[in-house]
Amino acid sequence: MELAYYSDYAVRLVNSEEPARGKDSLTSVEAVRELFGVNQSAGRRATDADVTRFRSVRGRLRAVFEAAAEGDETRAVDLLNALLLEFPVSPQVSGHDHRDDDGRPLWHMHLADHPSNATAGYAAIAAMGLAFHLTEYGVDRLGLCEAAPCRNAFLDTSTNRSRRYCSDRCATRANVAAYRARKRLEADRSANTGLAADSAQRTTASGER
């Protein structure tokens, strides 16, 4: 499992809440376990106490994305470093389930599950994955969707660093909204031009009388 994969842990946790819409899917231990995805053994350690702890980590991870989206690189890094210090990782060399053509293990770096509790394990993996993505690709690759009121987190993997939305759905919605706004503006300008022309005609007619 490559280290880049772990950055998705951070995105999944942050996007379990949509503050602007008043939505929060992280309301039960089952929801916590679902965040682990295929890593079911780690998810099974989750208890009701992890719901509150996960929400706390989620807020801190969102703050990293918010700082990055605002262009405050130093703050984003400081916030992420604080998480890395609090939730250290346990790296291991692994070759499980991956073999080359000769049947030899394809060795790679793997982040071992933290043994204390589900929150500590998840936070360590999410923070390390995000740190890897940040240092490899740049702080500006951490984004928040610009399609209001979404604000979901995303990792920009575009070739020209141009991604602005978390999904095609949000991109389409934002483009439609922008198109309608332009049409309204054009209509308003046309109406104002017509009113100005009518006013000018009335003024000219009045002067001629």
Where do we find the tokens 């309301």?
Answer: 27
Facing residues of 90 across strands? 112
Mean pLDDT lowest for which of 114-118, 135-139, 177-181, 204-208? Answer: 204-208
Q: Which pLDDT band holds residue 1 (cuts at 50, 70, 90)?
A: very low
pLDDT digits (tens, 9 = 90+) for 145-189: 999 899 999 999 888 888 999 999 999 988 876 667 777 776 767
pTM greater than 0.75? yes
Query: What 3-state DSSP class applies to 1?
Result: coil
Give the chain's mean pLDDT. Answer: 86
Instruction: Please state, in angstroms and rounded to a whole number, the distance separating the CA atoms of residues 105 and 86.
Output: 33
